[in-house]
Amino acid sequence: MTLSATARVAGIMGWPVGHSLSPRLHGYWLSEYAIDGAYVPFPVMVDRLADALRALPALGIAGVNLTVPHKVAACGIVDTLDPAAKRIGAINTVVVGSDGALEGRNTDAYGFIASIAETAPGWMAGAAPCVVIGAGGAARAVCVALLDAGAAEIRLVNRTQARAADLAAELGAVVTAARWDERAAALDGAGLLVNATSLGMRGQPPLDLDLARLPQGAVVNDVVYAPLETPLLAAAVRRGNRTVDGLGMLLHQGRPGFAAWFGRDPQVTPAVRAHVLAGFAP
C-alpha cells in the first residue's frame, strides 16, 4: 500500500493494543474502498493518554478508537461528548474536528442494535422484556441501546447487585435490577437475553444460567466474541432460540468512526466478517 502526502490517518489507542481486531477491520475497509489512508495501532500507557489524544490535531490524525483501559478516562480529556457517550460514561471513538476539537463518541450501543437488526430481523425491543446480564461498560452500552430502541422493560442482573441497582437507578424506571440468584426466573416471558459479562470468554468460566424459563421465541445475544459460539449461544441453539454473536457488534461499532475519518460508510459484509474472523481462532 502506498500512501500519498494527503493520506488520512486514524488508529486505535490501548494498553496493550496488540490484541485489537480493529486494525484488521479498518485495514480491510481501506483496501476494499481503495482509500488513501491508514489505520494504526497506538500502544498508549495510561499516564500518556491525555498527551496522546491532545497530539492528534497537531499530527493531522483524523481520530482514533479507544480500547481497554482508556474508554472511561478519555471522557475527561476530549472537548465534547456525544449524547450516547454521556449516558454510557465511556467513549470508544474520537473524531478530530476541522477546528482541532476532540469529539468523544460511543458507538458500542449503535453496534449492538445494528448487529441484532441484521442477524435477527423482526425482533422488536418493545415487544417483550429484555434481560441483560452484567453491569459493566458493555452492559451500560447495551441498556442505552435498548432504551433508545424502545424497550419497555429491561431486567438487569449482575453478580454485584449494587452495580445493577446503581445502573438501573441512573437509567430510569424501564430498567429494574434483579438479584443474581433470580437470574433464571428473570427469563420468564423475555424476548431478548443478552450476556454482557466477560463470562464465556476463552479462559473464563461459562455463564451459569438455566434457560428453561426462556421463551423459545426469544433472541439470545452474547457480547463475547472469542469464542464466537460461547457456551450460552450453544445452549440457546440446542433449544431452538435465535442467536446473535458478539462479532457483529464489534464490526458494526466500527462503522461510524470509519465514516467520520475516511468519508465512506463501510458495509459489514460476509467477506469482512470472514477476514476479521481469520484474525483470531473462532
Ligand X SMILES: NC(=O)c1ccc[n+]([C@@H]2O[C@H](COP(=O)([O-])OP(=O)(O)OC[C@H]3O[C@@H](n4cnc5c(N)ncnc54)[C@H](OP(=O)(O)O)[C@@H]3O)[C@@H](O)[C@H]2O)c1
Cβ proximity to ligand X: between 96 and 158 the closer is 158
Interface stretch with ligand X, choices 48-56, 136-144, 209-217, 270-278 (CB under 6 A): 136-144
**Helices 108-119 and 137-148, axial angle in degrees (round to 10):** 60
67 binds ligand X (CB under 6 A): no
Taking residues 171 to 210 in sequence order and writing x for each that binds ligand X by CB under 6 A, - otherwise, the string is -------------------------xxxx-x---------
Interface stretch with ligand X, choices 168-176, 232-240, 244-252, 263-271 (CB under 6 A): 244-252
Among the listed residues 1, 45, 83, 160, the single contact to ligand X using CB under 6 A: 160
Read off the amino acid at residue 143: C
CB 186 within 8 A of CB 155: yes
110 binds ligand X (CB under 6 A): no
49 binds ligand X (CB under 6 A): no
Report which of 63, 65, 64, 60 is spatially closest to residue 6, judged by C-alpha positions.
Answer: 60
22: CB partners within 8 A, 6+ apart: 12, 39, 41, 65, 67, 254
Q: Which three cell numbers stand for residue 222?
A: 452474547
Among the listed residues 81, 167, 218, 224, the single contact to ligand X using CB under 6 A: 224
Report which of 112, 106, 108 is spatially closest to residue 248, judged by C-alpha positions.
Answer: 112
Cβ proximity to ligand X: between 127 and 259 the closer is 259
CB 208 within 8 A of CB 201: no
137 binds ligand X (CB under 6 A): yes
Beta pairing partners, 220: 193, 243
Catalytic residues: 71
Question: Contact residues for ligand X (CB under 6 A)?
Answer: 108, 111, 134-139, 158-160, 163, 196-199, 201, 223-225, 246, 249-250, 253
